[in-house]
């Protein structure tokens, strides 16, 4: 049936294409007379865009739409740092950043920050308008990403840099520059991530440890592959709760104290590392019964299986017939050189006389399970009177314990930056905002991200819309649609109502397919096949013949099955392939 579906689909496609083409012809033909209408229908529908302004500047720590090149170059600093401890030639931060419109569905006047280069370290950062101090207000970080070239391996995350001497010179921003929060998408191979990492300072000794958020509940794959704008939002509240959103949908949420590894606070108690299991501690719950004795009639040597004494040779068994005979139809190859190749022997095939008999050759009675088999005797298990339970070390107070109830109070953030390396080019960033009011971030998204998505929706709609308008103007197109939709329906009905003839047609098809394979002309498998000896090819053809026969008994097979079967037979012939020695085909059981 698969073959027919494919044919139907191809037909539909061809007809649709011709319909659209002819419709376009009509369009062109009448263009001069219908200019007024054409003017009413611009080819792409534009969503008006203006560079956004945050509704309350006092609650904003940084907001950049990247539309203003002069402003951008004042604010953002490209890093010229060098990465430590790797070789000189790849250590430099020399990735290329540009302000550009998105490659697809761009709004007029909308630019973004694009990481142009791939396989280079790239870093860029901007100071905040004012530092964000973690205190009583929430932190909202939001930005857009378009992975315009997909993402093979690399990140599109940002870092909120910790205020201090190490981050004062943003021109030296690099991978070790201290950050308070790292947030955003990252992918390598099949590992899709949406990072939310914060760096926590141990209040006992001042050491800093990265805390990684648990995995999001949703699948992330599409965000990396669909090449659409996605909006990433982190909301972090003074009560330590957080939410991670993509395109305004919450995909991860929880609490800084509970949902991060390693956990912020160490355990109160730990196993005493100095406690040792006493030597006489008996952990065995059951022991063998020392008083039990082996019964006298227990024969440890009785075999597990014995010959079935009552078995008789099945009637019709042909003891004098061999199971295999030399293939009577085999012919010595014309180029067989007895001196070189040794004497020729025809390959063995199943003895056809045995096909209808229960068996051929010497008959042996079968083995059956020995009813007297007991195996090795073991004493039964009884409860161990000395059992003390599983040993566990004593618990002691954790000497390194501390309790930080406010991990939200992180190190003050003074700048934001991207510090990236990617195997895919053209990563587009836009409309980054850091604020302490969720509403401001929402409004910002409404005048930026949402317009982008509207524009994309309208652009894809407009193709359908155009066809609809065209149909209004030229109702004759309905005839085309009816034909396009009607032909497959009629065809399917025809197939359903005449199953007999249909399956005959299918067999014809399969035979033709097998025929095509036999010509050894076109299939990609031939690259491999051509490396084989002539012998192999002859054999494959024989197998093809056989496959064909098999398939003519069935109705629902597809090309793929034929191919798979060919692979099977190739494996078999490979197993048997021993250079130029005459091959004996494995008997195949179906």
Ligand X SMILES: *[C@@H]1O[C@H](CO)[C@@H](O)[C@H](O)[C@H]1NC(C)=O
Q: Confirm if 589 and 571 have CB atoms less than 8 A apart.
A: no
Question: In angstroms, rounded to a whole number, what is the distance separating the alpha carbons of residues 441 and 466?
Answer: 36
Q: How far is CA 144 from CA 141, 429, 457, in A?
A: 11, 6, 17
Least Å distance between CB 393 and ligand X?
Answer: 19
User: Given the complex with ligand X, which of 239 and 269 has the nearer CB atom?
Assistant: 269
* Residue 551 DSSP one-character state: H
User: Given the complex with ligand X, which of 405 and 588 has the nearer CB atom?
Assistant: 405
Tell me which residue of 148, 160, 75, 155 sits closest to 116, measured CA to CA. 148
User: Given the complex with ligand X, which of 264 and 434 has the nearer CB atom?
Assistant: 264
Least Å distance between CB 264 and ligand X?
Answer: 12
214: left (phi over 0), alpha (psi -120 to 50) or beta: beta
Least Å distance between CB 268 and ligand X?
Answer: 13
Least Å distance between CB 272 and ligand X?
Answer: 17
Least Å distance between CB 399 and ligand X?
Answer: 9
Residue 432 phi/psi, 5° resolution?
Answer: -80, 135
User: Given the complex with ligand X, which of 402 and 494 has the nearer CB atom?
Assistant: 402
Q: Which residue has the tokens 């009509």?
A: 26
Question: In angstroms, rounded to a whole number, what is the distance separating the alpha carbons of residues 359 and 321?
Answer: 9
User: Given the complex with ligand X, which of 270 and 357 has the nearer CB atom?
Assistant: 270
User: Given the complex with ligand X, which of 210 and 400 has the nearer CB atom?
Assistant: 400
Tell me which residue of 361, 325, 364 sits closest to 346, measured CA to CA. 325
User: Given the complex with ligand X, which of 109 and 203 has the nearer CB atom?
Assistant: 203
User: Given the complex with ligand X, which of 401 and 478 has the nearer CB atom?
Assistant: 401
Q: Confirm if 98 and 397 have CB atoms less than 8 A apart.
A: no
At what angle are helices 2-29 and 477-497 packed, to 10 degrees?
170
Least Å distance between CB 210 and ligand X?
Answer: 13
Q: Which residue has the tokens 């509240």?
A: 237
Least Å distance between CB 49 and ligand X?
Answer: 51
Least Å distance between CB 95 and ligand X?
Answer: 34
Contacts 24+ apart (CB under 8 A), 325-331: 325/349, 325/351
Q: How far is CA 10 from CA 7, 15, 464, 508, in A?
A: 5, 9, 21, 20
Q: Confirm if 47 and 455 have CB atoms less than 8 A apart.
A: yes
Least Å distance between CB 205 and ligand X?
Answer: 4
User: Given the complex with ligand X, which of 46 and 271 has the nearer CB atom?
Assistant: 271
Residue 241 phi/psi, 5° resolution?
Answer: -80, 155
Least Å distance between CB 202 and ligand X?
Answer: 5
Sign of CA dihedral 142, 223, 454, 28: positive
Least Å distance between CB 433 and ligand X?
Answer: 36
Q: How far is CA 256 from CA 5, 260, 437, 480, 517, in A?
A: 54, 6, 20, 61, 63
482: left (phi over 0), alpha (psi -120 to 50) or beta: alpha
User: Given the complex with ligand X, which of 206 and 328 has the nearer CB atom?
Assistant: 206
> Which parts of this chain interact with ligand X (CB under 6 A)?
202, 205, 207, 400
Least Å distance between CB 269 and ligand X?
Answer: 14
Residue 410 phi/psi, 5° resolution?
Answer: -80, 180
User: Given the complex with ligand X, which of 205 and 343 has the nearer CB atom?
Assistant: 205
User: Given the complex with ligand X, which of 16 and 202 has the nearer CB atom?
Assistant: 202
How many Cβ atoms are within 10 Å of 388's Cβ, its own excluded? 13
Spell out the SS3 assignment of 120-154. CEEEEEEEEEEEECCCCCCEEEEEEEEEECECCEE
């Amino acid at each position: 049936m698969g073959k027919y579906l494919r044919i139907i689909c191809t037909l539909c496609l061809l007809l649709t294409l011709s319909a659209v083409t002819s419709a376009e012809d009509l369009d062109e033909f009448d263009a001069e007379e219908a200019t007024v209408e054409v003017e009413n229908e611009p080819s792409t529908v534009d969503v008006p865009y203006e560079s956004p302004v945050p509704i309350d500047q006092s609650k904003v720590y940084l907001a950049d739409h990247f539309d203003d090149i002069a402003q951008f170059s004042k604010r953002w600093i490209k890093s010229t740092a060098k990465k430590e401890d790797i070789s000189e030639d790849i250590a430099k931060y020399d990735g290329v950043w540009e302000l550009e419109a998105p490659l697809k569905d761009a709004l007029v006047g909308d630019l973004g920050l694009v990481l142009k280069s791939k396989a280079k370290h790239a870093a860029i950062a901007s100071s905040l308008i004012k530092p964000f101090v973690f205190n009583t207000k929430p932190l909202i970080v939001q930005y857009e990403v378009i992975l315009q070239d997909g993402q093979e391996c690399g990140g599109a995350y940002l870092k909120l840099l910790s205020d201090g001497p190490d981050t004062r010179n943003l021109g030296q921003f690099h991978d070790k520059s201290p950050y308070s929060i790292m947030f955003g998408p990252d992918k390598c191979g099949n590992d899709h991530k949406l990072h939310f990492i914060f760096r926590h300072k141990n209040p006992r000794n001042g050491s800093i440890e990265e805390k990684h958020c648990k995995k999001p509940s949703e699948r992330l794959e599409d965000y990396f592959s669909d090449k659409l704008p996605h909006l990433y939002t982190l909301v972090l509240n003074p009560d330590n709760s957080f939410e991670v959103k993509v395109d305004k949908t919450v995909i991860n949420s929880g609490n800084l104290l509970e949902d991060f590894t390693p956990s912020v606070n160490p355990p109160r108690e730990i196993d005493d590392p100095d406690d040792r299991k006493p030597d006489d501690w008996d952990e065995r719950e059951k022991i063998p019964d020392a008083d039990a004795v082996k019964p006298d009639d227990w024969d440890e040597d009785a075999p597990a299986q014995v010959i079935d004494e009552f078995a008789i040779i099945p009637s019709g068994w042909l003891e004098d017939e061999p199971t295999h005979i030399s293939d009577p139809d085999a012919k010595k190859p014309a180029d067989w050189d007895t001196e070189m190749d040794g004497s020729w022997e025809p390959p063995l095939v199943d003895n056809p006389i045995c096909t209808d008999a229960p068996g051929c050759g010497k008959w042996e009675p079968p083995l059956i399970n020995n009813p007297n088999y007991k195996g090795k005797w073991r004493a039964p298990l009884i409860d161990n009177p000395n059992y003390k339970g599983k040993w566990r070390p004593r618990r002691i107070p954790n000497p390194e314990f501390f309790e930080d109830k406010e991990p939200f109070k992180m190190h003050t953030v003074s700048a934001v930056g991207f510090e990236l390396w990617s195997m895919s080019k053209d990563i587009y960033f836009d409309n980054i905002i850091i604020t302490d009011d969720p509403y401001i971030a929402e409004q910002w998204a409404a005048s930026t991200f949402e317009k982008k998505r509207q524009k994309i929706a309208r652009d894809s709609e407009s193709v359908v819309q155009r066809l609809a308008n065209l149909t209004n103007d030229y109702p004759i197109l309905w005839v085309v649609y009816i034909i396009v939709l009607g032909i497959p329906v009629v065809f399917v009905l025809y197939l359903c109502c005449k199953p007999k003839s249909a399956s005959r047609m299918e067999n014809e098809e399969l035979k033709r397919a097998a025929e095509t394979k036999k010509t050894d002309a076109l299939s990609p498998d031939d690259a491999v096949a051509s490396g084989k000896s002539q012998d192999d090819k002859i054999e494959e053809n024989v197998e093809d013949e056989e496959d064909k026969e098999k398939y003519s008994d069935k109705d629902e097979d597809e090309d793929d099955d034929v191919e798979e079967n060919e692979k099977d037979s190739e494996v078999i012939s490979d197993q048997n392939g021993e250079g130029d020695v005459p091959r004996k085909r494995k008997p195949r059981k179906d």
